[in-house]
Structure 1
Amino acid sequence: MAPATGDDAPDSDRASDAASRPPVAAALDEFDDGLAESVASSLTGRSDVVAVGVPLALLPPILAARDETTGGTWRVACRPGAVEPLARALVLGTAVAEAVATGSLELRTAADLGPRSGALGGARTCFASADRVDAVAGPASARTLVTEETAERVAAAGRAVRDRFASATPATVGMPARSRLLATAAETLDDRFATDLAAALDALPYGALGRSGDLTDRTLLVALAARHDHLLWDLRRWISGETQPAGGAREGGDGTRREAERVGVAAGQDLTDDRRRLVRRGLIEAIKVPVGDGRPRLRLRAVDDALLRATPTEVLSVLRGRFALPVDEDGRVESPPGSDGRRPVWERTRRGKN
């Protein structure tokens, strides 16, 4: 019998699926695709946009429209609580941070409007430019974008939007800009890893991965690193932002890297559980290798043939397939598919680095 899906699925299954979704993915579903498309279409080509009351769900269409528009800086004031989740959203967070770093967006956080009256007509989310104002209106189940182009009303509403943005608080995205993330990946690990990561991020939906559950954004990063036999220690340095200084210009007075130059995605120690889950499922192995004095370090190595053969854009699909397999009480897959465990160790270590 096929598994129940959609309306045929038990309530408990649907609740479990919803609970396992990344928080950002759930937030992005606040509005339907039709509204997102309307927002993107409305904003494309407008060089002087000022937006207020923007929820997390509307950041993707804003980015899409901004990518299709040249010149100027769009000023965007988000709702309270909309920016903080970006620090745990690798794909969306690095994209928003890139737009801020390049001057495409100026990001702030503004309090809600309060009484639903005045020049904005009570709308919480508004987009203003010189000759038009758009507002999200309607009940939660049927949101739509309405446009005002009457000169007098546009002038009044535009002033209200700009005043509200001016009173908003500058916001910081807790993720590095995408270009900075990739540059330090190449510096700390290598170009091959950075190229794989760039392709994977470009292909992933904004809400594809979160920080909870068995399969996280960190799991993907460990798997990508294992495809190129990197040391876990190097991956930890990079993911936590503790990359080696490239010169005095990046160092503080005590020789440490300046905080402004750090590009941390997560704490390095957070990789331990992800690495163990990948090992237990037969996807990678962690080999102890002597590196100078002190304790041996772990070299990550992919041993699953599907993971090795996959293109960067297919890696997440491979991981999802393996993580969907049943495991024993120790979290191990019995006879993992694609494992090369029968190969002599000298064959499996031939790809290793000295």
Structure 2
Amino acid sequence: MSANANAIDEEFSETINPLFEDADSVLFVNPAPDVFRTVMMSAAGFEEELPSLRVLATPDVLKSAVDDFILASQIAELVDQGQLELRTTTEVTRSSLLISDDQIITVITLDDELTGLRSTDDDLVTNARTTFDSDWESGEEFSLRTPPLSRVQETLVDELGEDVEDDFMMIFESVDRIPGEDNELDEVSIALLVGAHNEVLLYDISKWGEDTGVASKATFSRTKTRLEDRGLIETEKVPIDVGRPRLRLVLVPDDLEDIDSLAEQVTA
């Protein structure tokens, strides 16, 4: 180890903010899934001006990340704001690296904990930037389908009301991942359950979901049927002037009407 390389001995997440504070740009190379999540969520919660962030990862890592609506919507927010770019490569075989203007952090896992080595060696940093800037240029752009979180919030308020948005975000903030490990409570299920709690029309919430990019109307319909089969929601016909009646979503059991703990109750 060189004289100006040192082991990171604090919580790994606590090294990210200082890195962001001191850098104009950060190149994130070959992140493992847990490292990628930690860095992206740290970036999403960073309260000061972010450096320019670029990620060069394997396709599997990015595809896995966007399966989690919480992480994907935060990533989409960063991309939408022009703060993050994502590219893929199948040729990176090195450790996870965070490379800023004047330091490089090699991330490793020891005893199930993230840690790493930090170096400020000028030659090492320069060589790493040169090498991986070249790899970045040859990488393929990765596109997200998930909408940014701010768009989800704004459209919920505009199209379905503040109460629906408040309930959706309450559940969003009460869980670590969407879907969770059992894959039952995904973003569409949450939207439908929140819609049922507020007795909105299935047509309105499924149209919102499709227009926003959360999911198709067909996905909303299938998920509604699954929630009905589990006895969690039901629908009531609402006559309209022309055409078939619309369906209003309602919660079935009284014990699901506590929206504060809806996520915990549904996955119990």
- TM-score interval (norm. to shorter): 0.7 to 0.9
Aligned residue among 174, 193, 208 for 1:203: 174
Other-structure match for 1:222? 192
Contact 2:19–2:100 (8 Å) recurs in 1: no
SS of aligned partner of 2:145: coil
Is the counterpart of residue 45 in structure 1 residue 16 in structure 2? no
Return the letter of the residue paired with 1:190.
Answer: G
Comparing 209-218 and 58-67, the one that deviates more: 209-218
Return the letter of the residue paired with 1:272.
Answer: S
Q: 1:24-173 alignment to 2 at 5 Å? A: 37=13, 40=16, 43-47=19-23, 48-66=25-43, 67-68=45-46, 69-113=48-92, 123-137=94-108, 144-173=115-144
Inter-CA distance 306–280: structure 2 relative to 1 (3 Å threshold): same
Aligned residue among 239, 250, 264 for 1:317: 264
C-alpha separation in 2, matches of 1:141 and 1:210: 20
Contact 1:128–1:161 (8 Å) recurs in 2: no
- Residue ranges of structure 2 left out of the alignment (5+ in a row): 1-9
Higher strand share goes to which structure? 2
User: Structure 1 residue 275: deviation in Å?
Assistant: 2.1
User: Structure 1 residue 216: deviation in Å?
Assistant: 3.3
Size of the alignment, in residue pairs?
A: 256
Deviations 1:39-63 (A, max 9, x none): 6366342432111112332232212
- Residue ranges of structure 1 left out of the alignment (5+ in a row): 1-33, 115-122, 242-262, 322-354
User: Structure 1 residue 86: deviation in Å?
Assistant: 4.3
Inter-CA distance 304–213: structure 2 relative to 1 (3 Å threshold): same
C-alpha separation in 2, matches of 1:202 and 1:214: 17
Give percent identity, aligned residues only: 23
Give the TM-score, by structure 1 length. 0.65
SS of aligned partner of 1:49: strand
Is the counterpart of residue 237 in structure 1 residue 200 in structure 2? no
User: Structure 1 residue 76: deviation in Å?
Assistant: 1.5
User: Structure 1 residue 109: deviation in Å?
Assistant: 1.5
C-alpha separation in 1, matches of 2:101 and 2:199: 54
Contact 1:214–1:277 (8 Å) recurs in 2: no
Comparing 208-217 and 226-235, the one that deviates more: 208-217
User: Structure 1 residue 309: deviation in Å?
Assistant: 2.6
C-alpha separation in 2, matches of 1:211 and 1:150: 41
Deviations 1:162-194 (A, max 9, x none): 222222222111200000111112222222111
Give the TM-score, by structure 2 length. 0.83
Other-structure match for 2:165? 194
C-alpha separation in 2, matches of 1:191 and 1:208: 22
SS of aligned partner of 2:106: strand
C-alpha separation in 2, matches of 1:174 and 1:306: 35
User: Structure 1 residue 65: deviation in Å?
Assistant: 3.2
Is the counterpart of residue 289 in structure 1 residue 238 in structure 2? yes
Deviations 1:57-90 (A, max 9, x none): 2232212432335243211122222222344322
User: Structure 1 residue 233: deviation in Å?
Assistant: 0.8
Contact 2:171–2:190 (8 Å) recurs in 1: no
Contact 1:192–1:228 (8 Å) recurs in 2: yes
Contact 1:41–1:65 (8 Å) recurs in 2: yes
Comparing 294-303 and 64-73, the one that deviates more: 64-73
User: Structure 1 residue 264: deviation in Å?
Assistant: 1.1
Return the letter of the residue paired with 1:298.
Answer: L
Return the letter of the residue paired with 2:106.
Answer: A
Other-structure match for 1:179? 150
Comparing 172-181 and 129-138, the one that deviates more: 129-138
C-alpha separation in 2, matches of 1:281 and 1:143: 39
Moved over 6 A (4+): 138-143
Q: CA RMSD in A?
A: 2.7
Say which structure, 1 or 2, has more relative contact order (CA 8 Å, 6+ apart). 2
